[in-house]
Chains A and B, each alone.
Chain A
Amino acid sequence: MSEPSKPQGRKFQLPEHLKVYQNVWVIVEQERGIVHSVSLELLGEARKLADKLGVEVGAVVLGAESPDLNRICGDAISYGADIVYKVTDPALADYRTDPYCRVMTEVVNTHKPEIVLLGATTLGRDLAGAIATTLATGLTADCTELDIYADNRSLAATRPTFGGTLLCTIQTLAYRPQMATVRPRVMAMPERDDARSGRVVEIKPDLREEDIVTKVLNFIADREQNEAQLAFADIIVSAGKGLGKVENMKLVFDLAKVLGGEVGVTRPLVQAGWATNDRQVGQTGKTVRPKLYIAAGISGAIQHRVGMEKSDLILAINTDPNATIFDFAHLGLVGDALKILPALTDAFGRRLSVNRMAG
Chain B
Amino acid sequence: MHIVVCIKQVPDSAQIRIHPVTNTIMRQGVPAIINPFDLFSLEEALRLKDKVGARVTVLTMGPPMAETSLRKALSLGADDAVLLTDRKFAGSDTLATSYALTSAIQKLAEEEPVDIVFCGKQTVDGDTAQVGPGIATRLGFEQLTYITRIEDLNIASKEIVVQRRSEGGVQVLKTRLPCMITMLEGTNTIRFGKMDDLFRAARYDLKTWSRDFTGAEETRVGLKGSPTVVSKVFVPKPRAEKAKMIVADADTPDAQAAAAIDAIFGAQPKLADDLLARAAAGL
Q: What residues of chain B lie closer than 8 Å to A233, measured between beta carbons?
A: none
Whether A142 sits at the interface, judged by CB under 8 Å, is: yes
Chain A residue at minimal CB-CB distance from B227: A138
User: Does A303 sit within 8 A of B, measured CB to CB?
Assistant: yes
Residues of the B chain whose Cβ atoms lie less than 8 Å from the Cβ of A234: 274
Chain B residues near A123 (CB-CB < 8 A): 166-167
Judging by beta carbons under 8 Å apart, are A283 and B95 in contact? no
Which partner residue on chain A sits nearest B138 by CB separation?
A: A133
Interface residue tally of chain B, by bracket? 35 or more
Closest CB-CB distance, B252 to chain A, in whole Å?
A: 8
| Residues from chain B with Cβ under 8 Å of A164 in the complex | 14
B275 touches A259 (CB 8 A): yes
8 Å CB contact of B256 from A141, A162, A335: A335
Q: How far is the CB of A36 from chain B (nearest CB, A)?
A: 6
B25 adjacent to chain A (CB < 8 Å): yes
Q: Interface of chain B, helix or strand or loop or mixed?
A: mixed
| Segment at the interface with B among A72-80, A109-117, A191-199, A213-221 | A213-221
Stretch at the interface among B41-49, B71-79, B120-128, B201-209: B120-128
Query: Do the beta carbons of B243 and A217 come within 8 Å of each other?
Result: no
A248: interface (CB < 8 Å): no
In the complex, the answer to whether A139 meets B95 with C-beta atoms within 8 Å is: yes
- The answer to whether residues A303 and B275 also contact, given A137-B227, A347-B261 and a CB cut-off of 8 A, is no
Stretch at the interface among A46-54, A57-65, A81-89, A169-177: A169-177
Q: Which single residue of chain B is at the shortest CB-CB distance from A10?
A: B231
Q: Which residues of chain B from 139 to 198 have a CB within 8 Å of any chain A CB?
A: 142-146, 161, 163-176, 186
Q: Is B93 an interface residue (CB 8 A)?
A: yes
Interface size on A, residues (CB 8 A): 109
Give the residues in chain B near A249, CB-CB below 8 Å: none
Known contacts A167-B234, A333-B256, A348-B261; A129/B129 CB under 8 A: yes
The stretch from A19-27, A90-98, A203-211 touching chain B is: A90-98
> A301, B229: Cβ atoms under 8 Å?
no
Chain A 127-142, CB-CB to B under 8 Å as 1, else 0, gives 0111011101111111
- CB contacts (< 8 Å) of A347 on chain B: these are 254, 257-258, 261
Report how far A274 CA is from B25 CA in the complex, Å: 29
Does A334 belong to the interface (CB within 8 Å)?
Answer: yes
CB of A226 closer than 8 Å to a CB of B:
no
Nearest A residue to B161 by beta-carbon distance?
A217
Name the one of B91, B166, B263 contacting A122, with C-beta atoms under 8 angstroms: B166
Alpha-carbon separation in the docked complex, A303 to B107 (Å)? 39
Q: How far is the CA of A317 from the CA of B264 in the complex (A)?
A: 13
Q: Are A313 and B271 in contact (CB under 8 A)?
A: yes
Q: Which residues of A contact B57 (CB under 8 A)?
A: none
Chain B residues contacting A168 (CB-CB under 8 Å) are 230, 232-234
Cα distance, A35 to B24, chains bound together (Å): 42
What are the residues of chain A within 8 A of B138 when measuring CB–CB?
133
The reply on B94 being an interface residue by CB < 8 A is yes
Question: Assuming the A-B contacts A95-B166, A171-B229, are A340 and B257 also in contact, with contact meaning beta carbons closer than 8 angstroms in the complex?
Answer: yes
* Chain A residue contacts of B16, Cβ below 8 A: 162-163, 165
B251-283, CB < 8 A from A: 253-254, 256-261, 263-264, 267-268, 271, 274-276, 278-280, 282-283
Chain B CB within 10 Å — which of A122, A169, A348 has the most?
A122
Q: A133-B137, A334-B245, A355-B280 are in contact. Are A161 and B231 (CB under 8 A)?
A: no
With A130-B133, A130-B136, A343-B256 as known contacts, state yes or no: A167 contacts B236, CB within 8 Å: yes
Known contacts A5-B230, A283-B127, A333-B246; A327/B238 CB under 8 A = yes
With both beta carbons as reference points, the residue of chain A lying nearest to B129 in the complex is identified as: A125
B10-23 interface code vs A (CB 8 A; 1 in, 0 out): 00011111100000
| Contact partner, A172, options B143, B164, B227, Cβ 8 Å | B227
The answer on a CB contact under 8 Å between A2 and B229 is yes
State whether A292 touches B268 (Cβ < 8 A): yes
Closest CB-CB distance, A115 to chain B, in whole Å? 14
Please name all residues of chain A whose beta carbon is closer than 8 Å to the beta carbon of B144 when the two chains form the complex: 214
Once the chains bind, are A220 and B170 in contact (CB under 8 Å)?
yes
A336 to B252, CA, bound (A): 10
Which residues of B lie under 8 Å from residue A259 when comparing CB positions? 275
Contacts of B235 in A (CB 8 A): 166-167
Is B90 engaged at the interface, CB distance under 8 Å to the other chain? yes
Contact with B along A201-245 (1 / 0, CB 8 A): 000000000000111111111100000000000100000000000
A67 contacts the other chain (CB 8 A): no
Given A291-B268, A313-B268, A325-B243: 8 more A-B contacts, CB < 8 Å: A3-B90, A3-B230, A162-B125, A163-B15, A165-B16, A213-B176, A331-B246, A333-B246
> Could you show 8 A-B contacts with beta carbons less than 8 Å apart?
A1-B91, A122-B165, A133-B134, A303-B14, A312-B271, A326-B242, A343-B254, A351-B276
Contact surface of B with A, Cβ cutoff 8 Å: 13-18, 25, 89-95, 97-98, 124-134, 136-138, 142-146, 161, 163-176, 186, 223, 226-236, 238-239, 242-246, 253-254, 256-261, 263-264, 267-268, 271, 274-276, 278-280, 282-283
Binding site for B on A (CB under 8 A): 1-5, 7-10, 29, 31, 34, 36, 94-98, 101, 121-123, 125-126, 128-130, 132-134, 136-142, 156, 160-175, 213-222, 234, 259-260, 267, 277, 283-284, 291-292, 301-303, 305, 312-317, 325-336, 339-340, 342-344, 346-348, 351-353, 355-356, 359
